[in-house]
Structure 1
Amino acid sequence: MNTTQGFWIKEPIDIRNKKTGPYNVNFIYKQGNVFIMDNHLAAAYCWIQELDKNENLNFFHIDQHEDLCSDAPVKSYIKIKDTSHISLNEFLSMRYQSGEKQAFSFENYILQTQRLFPNWFRKCCFACHYYVVCEELDMIPQLNNINLLGSISNASKWGYATLERDKDNRWIINIDLDYFFYSNAFQMLTNEYIQFLFEDLKNAMEESKKIAIVTIALSPECCGGWDKVIPIANYIAKELGLDFKL
């Protein structure tokens, strides 16, 4: 049970009528080391606020998509590296191409963070709807929706690391609820599957100190809309002992 009081970093307003898209962040909720957001790009903002910039971490990504574009030049967001705190508005206002393009989107936030803090991505585990290839990341064997079950607690206990020096690193757990959907419309995996996965995450958080942060994105446009994904988000929050509810 998460006994820390939760709060809104950005509070949702008339959320069912809002669009998320690549760049808009309509809400972020924090309770303990768990963050829930609509747009996955906000995960990078949460990592920057929460994590020790010098700590070696491993990275676990569960998502329909890999989110591994890296289109913005480093100079457009390099100030993050040496800034002790940056507001959400400042984070979202960083731009390039003469101010025409926002530096962070839901497609590029992982590698752009990795460019600044490669030590947060010592070992990377991906569970996506397809096989992921990325030369910039040290990838361990990828997981399908069968062997994903139980894998979070396994990672927190044994590390999944092929190098001895990385097996004791804490983990960034990064989840997009669109993983449970197909073709941006249909829930592909059952509520029982979702329950099992998040029970495993809860157990890992309670039984070990290896979970540094959990970031969870709703990505409504990839889940058939707000009405389909909000009940899942509310259920997951309850399972994790969070006060979050939309």
Structure 2
Amino acid sequence: MYIYQRSTPRINYDAYEEIFLWKDDNLPIYVMDNHRLALWCWEQEYAKGTYSKIRVIHIDRHWDGNACLNIPPNIKPVGNMSIDEYQDQQNSLGNFKLFLWDNYIDYFKQKHLNLEIKDFSSDNKSVRKWKTIIKYLDNLVVNPDEFLIINLDIDAFFTPNKNPLNKWLDKMSLVLWRVKKCLRQYQSKIVVTIAFSPTCCYGEKILNGLVREMKLIERDLDIDMNLWKCLAPFYK
């Protein structure tokens, strides 16, 4: 189901603008175009249980962090915000949105001191190889009092050419198969967030790659998003 779906075409490119947020009806899987919405999804699922530890597995083409936060005082907990409140929340200076694609993880870290992050972003060269990610997921053990977040950023705009995209999709499929296994095993204490970042995508080759990535995720996770129907009006 769509939690949020933009109703008007995008006029200008905005890295902090959303087109959609989708959630599976049966599984804790959220798919979005702007990764800044992931924090809201995490808090919705985290609030359903009581945990002493949170583990975030972050798989990305770059690290989504280290931006300025400027948190306003007495802010409502994200878990109590509607999606509209979250999207519109201003920073303490009142001159920009608070939750951005490059600070949502930092905000989560500040609010949850019982947090462990396993960073598999390409910026982290020590763990960037696919075999390291796959080995980690294969050996993953989640404790009974632990909440698991698997955070994937597809970043289609990084793979505009055919051959790199094919290689990327092949490796991502291996990861998604393991994510599906985690969903089956830890369904009551896991959330999976996936971002495509299509607002950064321009050109026919990149958009074709975006469609292929959507189909890959639908196939490997056994979900039916029908996202291209939602996104097509924004790329005419």
Q: Give the shorter-chain TM-score range.
A: 0.7 to 0.9
Query: Deviation string for 1:52-84 (max 9, x for gaps)?
Result: 385221110001111112412222683226xx5
Map of 1:244 onto structure 2: 225
Cα separation, partners in 2 of 1:149 and 1:20, compared to 1, 3 Å: farther
Q: 2:117 aligns with which of 121, 124, 131?
A: 124
Partner Cα distance (1:239, 1:114) in 2: 30
Alignment of 1:54-73 (within 5 A): 54-55=50-51, 56-73=53-70
Greater relative CO, 1 or 2 (CA 8 Å, sep 6+): 2
Query: Runs in 1 of length 4+ with deviation above 4 angstroms?
Result: 12-15, 17-20, 208-211, 221-225
2:23 corresponds to 1:46: no
The verdict on how the C-alpha distance between 1:168 and 1:90 changes in structure 2, with shifts beyond 3 A counting, is closer
Contact 1:41/1:104 (<8 A) preserved? yes
Q: Measure the CA separation in 2 of the matches of 1:197 and 1:77.
A: 39
User: Could you say if the C-alpha distance between residues 41 and 60 of structure 1 is closer, same or farther in structure 2, counting changes exceeding 3 Å?
Assistant: same
2 CA distance for matches of 1:77 and 1:67? Answer: 25
Q: Any gaps of 5 or more consecutive residues in structure 2?
A: 228-236
Note closer, same or farther for the CA distance 1:226–1:109 as it changes in structure 2 (3 Å cut).
farther
- Hey, what's the Cα distance between the residues in 1 that align with 2:100 and 2:192? 19
Structure 1 gaps, min length 5: 1-6, 133-140, 160-165
What is the one-letter code of the residue matched to 1:193?
A: K
For the residues of structure 2 that align with 1:192 and 1:214, how far apart are their CA atoms? 20
Shift of 1:29: 0.6
1:110 aligns with 2:121: no
When normalised by structure 1's length, the TM-score is: 0.75
Q: In 2, distance between residues paired with 1:232 and 1:130?
A: 22
Alpha-carbon RMSD across the aligned residues, in angstroms, is 2.9
1:210 to 1:86, Cα distance in 2 relative to 1, 3 A: closer
**TM-superposed deviation, 1:167:** 9.0
1:22 CA displacement: 2.8
TM-score normalised over the length of structure 2: 0.78
CA distance in structure 2 between the partners assigned to 1:99 and 1:152 by the alignment: 41
